[in-house]
Amino acid sequence: MRGQVLSNIGLALSLSITGAQAASDTTAPVVTDNHDGRIYEAALLNKHATSVRGWLRASAPASGVGVKIQAEFWGFPANVSGPYPYHIHVSPVSQENCTTTGAHLDPYIRGETPPCDPNHPNTCQVGDLSGKHSPIYVAPNEPFAVEYTDLFLSLDKKNPAYIGNRSIVVHAPNSSRLNCGNFVPRDHE
């Protein structure tokens, strides 16, 4: 009996330690092994259902730390300034249907709640670019352009935060998918 009680206590401690480790596993590590010269680009589709167009370029900085993001989007409705969230999604676009892109890239199983805190971007979904770096806000008939380094993305196929075989989706303020495009490799700079 005493042995069984001690065994149950040991099991409970083991499970609580495992649970604590699992909770901390949702934090994304800084990516330090991006190889200089790798470039991926995604162009939004030429869809009749939306005027939103644009592109996003992801390149490895010389340091190999994170991914440099450059993006420009335009054609947003003149009567809605935003916010327009944009994310990297798990699957590529199939048959020009943005719903085929699946969920946000989230290799550390962080989930969507609570919302991303930009002050702690390592705790956000890896693909939540607008959560980590700000959504798109635009003046009427003006484009949106941005450039930043995201420390948690990867251009290495072996890394769970790899974006090369994924897609970018621009959402409306109500979260519906406005437009999307697939990442494709480009020649080295």
**How does pLDDT run across 55-70, given as a tens digit for each residue?**
999 999 999 999 999 9
d(CA 30, CA 11) in angstroms, rounded, equals: 33
Judge whether 5 lies within some domain.
no
State residue 140's pLDDT score: 85
The pTM (predicted TM-score) of the whole model is 0.84
Average pLDDT over residues 39-43: 97
Residue 84's SS3 state is strand
Judge whether 8 lies within some domain.
no
Q: In this structure, are residues 101 and 180 in contact, taking their beta carbons and an 8 Å threshold? A: yes
Residue 18 CB partners (closer than 8 Å, separation 6+)? none
Instruction: Give yes or no for a cis peptide into 118 (omega within 30° of 0).
Output: no
> Range of 178's domain?
39-186
Judge whether 127 lies within some domain.
yes
| CATH code of the domain containing 118 | 2.60.40.200
**How is residue 20 written in tokens?**
């604590």
State residue 18's pLDDT score: 33
Judge whether 90 lies within some domain.
yes
Judge whether 7 lies within some domain.
no
Tell me how many domains the chain contains: 1
For residue 167, the cross-strand partners are: 89, 182
Judge whether 31 lies within some domain.
no
Sheet architecture: strand order including 67-74: 86-89, 167-171, 177-186, 39-43, 53-59, 67-74, 144-150
Judge whether 11 lies within some domain.
no
**How is residue 136 written in tokens?**
């798109």
State residue 147's pLDDT score: 98
State residue 188's pLDDT score: 57
Average pLDDT over residues 104-108: 97
